[in-house]
Structure 1
């Protein structure tokens, strides 16, 4: 009788052991565990796919981050060992006018803190007013610099790209200028205003194709205390590279400042036709969801401003037609005179830049009764220096931690449940 009872008890226990082996072989399904896994998956998806505008709203409420970020259209180039001054642009589009309100300005490089005033006895890099000084510049100074303008109610970050190269590659960063044949024109040594010292006379040395310019002949004349080189009776042979050199003294040390000019000569019949001088590159870097102001600058010589039309096209369509929602617009037309020559500038404003803009064919078109020119360009995605990704980092970490805890609890519950079944 006792043996029979023992056999009856062992048989169900064998089935239980078989069931336990089956459960160990087949993944365990738990509604609670499934719920937590799906929650974690949704959180991860939301982290990567959430509209950046949500973070922009969060940034507006923050006192440490800026509401807007602008990629400056101009890429600064400099020669190694020479002084460099980066100016924080003062935009006056819409609400970006800081001229009539006090503000604080800080500088950073690649999201790293930089000094806002001289901290060392003789710093090589320091901020003064709206400018960041490099005295002198070195190759490692290349990178993206951010100037932040902030007042009590608004803040904007402006990214400026600087590339420092060796002096042997000076022709790669030349300034384009245009003169017309059979006329007298003048070359201008550019971007010297911040280095000109009032107490000393301005004296420049000029070179053409690395050969000193003979200023005693009738062809060239360097105007005293000016940044001009006068060229009489311009011909096509005058095209080429010109270099102007200026001595700059600061703190008892003397530096040389050189600028390379690429002169293009045009025939007389093209004297009044428009010539697009900017954008001077086929692509312009921009960060996703940042604000980009891309100007089209047109040289029209002695032509009257009202004779020339300047406009932007996107995929061969007018801007106001393809962007009906107003995210991309043409800015106010600016008419200016530089070096006694007329220019027209029309900016294209992205507010903000979206991914579709990286696949859009842009064209600047300038036309008058004497001629027409079209310059194609594109916006290319660059490294984002905006701060919205900083908000994503803690969210992602939180999701990972919660997900890890949930998975740990699920596996622990599964292991405990299996142990109880085996024990029973």
Structure 2
């Protein structure tokens, strides 16, 4: 009987424990909480449950009898294991809702789970942790995300080495070295290192880049380094902040379009950089805004051009297009409006119907053009073939000028006595002039015989 009672109690306890586990609220993996650290450097992981998922802090939860437990799943593994915080070198330890690594190693990469529970309540969440090696010949790794800070040009600014509080005792003064793009500079121009801060006396655009602070300190006789990188981005000076400036349309422009054609009007606006400001630009047709356009013929295209000489400033161009525009639509009111937090600018485009060229003028122009073309063609042909044209005319329409002139020959031909010229005269020249055109040739040595005609 006693053995049976013990078995029943054990079964009840097992069922109760399983039911309790099944009721555990699992929030899954919060990838937004990715923590990155460098190999050999200390790092702390804070349980996200007390930041975004619970209204109470760790002390309140602990007072209510809840226990915080840590688990991890190594990279490339599926089995979740409890974290061993009793290592001989005390490398991993817990402090309230923080899990400490002094230091973190490459094989610590994985998913970490913090679980808050008692006998009736359970809540857990996982988040990733990645340990990186620094790139060769570099003070950082390109795979580690850098915090971004924005400084206005021509201003003074203070850059502070982030996330160092609580890593070393308050009575310890660490050594801090500042680097720009991983180059240690002893004398910064317009920049003055002061421990954990870097003072920018005058922010210039050429100072934009990665700034790395390496904090060195000793704790319990062991040296540690903290590497933090911030990307400094420059934007236009607040002294140059202005309301929008509309470039086009303006009062000196008139847009003319033919009815039945396509209307296209650009609206081009320059926006200077204004901190925490919006930029808005839009067209209105007869008081109707872009969101109310339902006609498929109406299109609006937008493009943005950055001002490379003035960081943060830009020019926005919004072009309004209407296909198959009607005469009535050419009389509508087309207004472009642009605004930011400093002001609003609005301007109407001057649009009118373009008068087409009269038809008779077009026909006359075409006739004159055709006539001029024919005249030019005739001049070119006459210039090239004038001799052939004269001979052709004489052969078919001209009168025989040799009749009644009392001459026996029309042409006297003399030539040098060599085989080439003799062949040309007796074959080619004689064949053309005598046989084709009927001229009588007196050829030396053929017709100039002793006692003959002279």
TM bucket, shorter chain? 0.3 to 0.5
Higher share in helix: 1
Instruction: Output the TM-score relative to the length of structure 2.
Output: 0.43
Q: RCO (CA 8 Å, sep 6+): is it higher in 1 or 2?
A: 1
Q: Which is higher, the Rg of structure 1 or of structure 2?
A: 2
